[in-house]
C-alpha cells in the first residue's frame, strides 16, 4: 500500500525532506493535499486528519500515514521510514546518531523560517520586515556558519569517510543536507556564494545527491515544486548579504 504524505500544497516546506526520501527510494506514495477531491484527497482530506477526534491527532503537517499509523514531524517520519526505504544505517546505534543529526537539521530549518517570521508566524512578512532584517543579519553572520561548519565537521570526522553524514551508505540525513544547501542558496545567494570553499565536504555531498538518478529525475519532474515565497526558504533580497 502506498504511503500517504500530508503536507500543504504549493510549497516545498518541511514536506520536501520526506519527499526526497520517498523519491530516492522509488517508494509508492500519495501526496494527499495535492491530490483530487474527487479521489478523497486534497486539502480537505488533510484538514480532516488534523481535526480528527480519533487517537493521537497530529499537531501540524507534515505527517505520514502508513495504514492506521499516523507519524508526525519530519525527523520522526524519516526515522520511521529510513529502515523501510533502505535509507538508514543498519546499526541501531547509528540510527540514533542519524536521528540526532536530523534533529539538528530540524533546528536549522526552524531558524530559517524565523529569519522571515521572527515575531509571529501568523503575521505577514511585511509586518515584521525590520525584525526580519535584524534576525537575518545574525543568522547569516553567526548561525549559518555555526550549523554549516558543524555539518562539515561531521563529514570530515565520519570514520567511514566524508561521503556520508552517517556510516558508509546513503541515508536520509544526506538527502536532507542536499535540501539545506539548495534552500540556503535559493534564499541567500549572496551569503552562500562561497559555500564550496568554506564547506567542501557538504557541497560535495550536495552534488552527489543531486546526481543520483532518482533524485535527478525527481528534480526535473512536476512533482518537485519550485522554491517560492510561501515556503520555509524564501528569497527576499533585502534579507541577504555577502559574507567573505
- Which residues of the shown chain bind a copy of itself in the complex (CB under 8 A)? 53-60, 63, 69-73, 75-76, 79-80, 93, 96-97, 99-101, 103-104, 107, 110, 114, 118-120, 122-123, 128, 131, 134-135, 138, 142, 147, 150, 153-154, 157-159, 166
Cell numbers for 65, please give them: 500515514
Tell me the closest approach of the beta carbon of residue 126 to a copy of itself, in angstroms.
15
Alpha helices in the chain (DSSP H): 15-25, 43-50, 74-84, 92-116, 129-138, 144-157, 172-187, 195-198, 200-210, 213-220
Answer left, alpha or beta for residue 53, where phi above 0 means left and psi between -120 and 50 means alpha.
Answer: alpha
Q: Give the chain's radius of gyration (CA, Å).
A: 18
For a copy of itself, give the closer residue by CB, 135 or 215.
135
Nearer to a copy of itself, 76 or 163 (CB): 76
Distance CA 15, CA 12 (A): 6
**What's the grid cell of residue 23?**
523519491
Comparing CB distances to a copy of itself, the nearer of 75 and 181 is 75
Minimum separation from the CB atom of position 149 to a copy of itself (A): 11
How do 3-6 and 29-31 pair as beta strands? Answer: parallel
Closer CB to a copy of itself, residue 118 or residue 231?
A: 118
Q: How far is the CB of 221 from a copy of itself (least distance, A)?
A: 29
Nearest distance, CB of residue 1 and a copy of itself, angstroms: 16
The rounded distance, in Å, linking the Cα atoms of 11 and 33 is 11
Q: How far is the CB of 80 from a copy of itself (least distance, A)?
A: 6
Report the residue number, 48 or 134, with the smaller CB distance to a copy of itself: 134
Q: Can you state the angle between helices 200-210 and 213-220, rounded to 10 degrees?
A: 70
- Nearer to a copy of itself among residue 10 and residue 100 (C-beta): 100
Minimum CB–partner distance for residue 209 and a copy of itself (Å): 20
Q: Give the CA distances from residue 158 to residues 94, 164, 166, in Å, rounded to whole numbers and listed in that order.
A: 11, 8, 7
Amino acid at each position: 500500500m502506498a504511503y500517504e504524505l500530508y503536507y500543504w500544497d504549493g510549497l516545498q516546506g518541511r514536506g520536501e525532506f520526506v519527499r526526497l526520501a520517498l523519491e530516492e527510494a522509488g517508494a509508492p506514495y500519495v501526496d494527499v493535499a495535492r491530490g483530487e477531491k474527487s479521489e478523497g484527497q486534497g486539502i480537505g482530506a488533510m484538514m480532516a486528519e488534523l481535526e480528527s477526534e480519533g487517537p493521537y491527532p497530529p499537531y501540524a503537517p507534515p505527517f505520514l500515514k502508513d495504514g492506521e499509523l499516523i507519524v508526525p514531524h519530519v525527523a520522526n517520519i524519516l526515522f520511521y521510514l529510513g529502515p523501510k526505504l533502505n535509507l538508514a544505517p543498519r546499526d541501531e546505534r547509528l540510527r540514533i546518531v542519524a536521528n540526532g543529526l536530523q534533529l539538528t537539521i530540524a533546528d536549522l530549518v526552524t531558524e530559517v523560517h524565523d529569519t522571515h517570521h521572527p515575531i509571529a508566524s501568523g503575521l505577514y512578512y511585511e509586518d515584521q520586515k525590520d525584525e526580519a532584517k535584524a534576525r537575518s543579519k545574525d543568522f547569516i553572520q553567526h548561525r549559518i556558519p555555526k550549523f554549516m561548519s558543524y555539518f562539515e565537521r561531521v563529514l570530515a570526522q565520519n570514520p567511514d569517510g566524508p561521503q556520508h553524514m552517517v556510516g558508509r551508505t546513503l541515508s536520509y540525513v544526506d538527502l536532507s543536507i542536499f535540501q539545506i544547501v539548495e534552500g540556503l542558496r535559493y534564499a541567500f545567494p549572496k551569503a552562500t556564494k562561497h559555500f564550496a570553499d568554506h564547506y567542501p565536504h557538504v557541497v560535495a555531498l550536495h552534488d552527489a545527491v543531486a546526481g543520483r538518478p532518482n533524485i535527478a529525475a525527481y528534480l526535473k519532474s512536476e512533482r518537485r515544486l519550485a522554491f517560492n515565497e510561501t515556503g520555509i526558504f524564501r528569497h527576499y533580497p533585502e534579507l541577504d548579504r555577502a559574507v567573505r
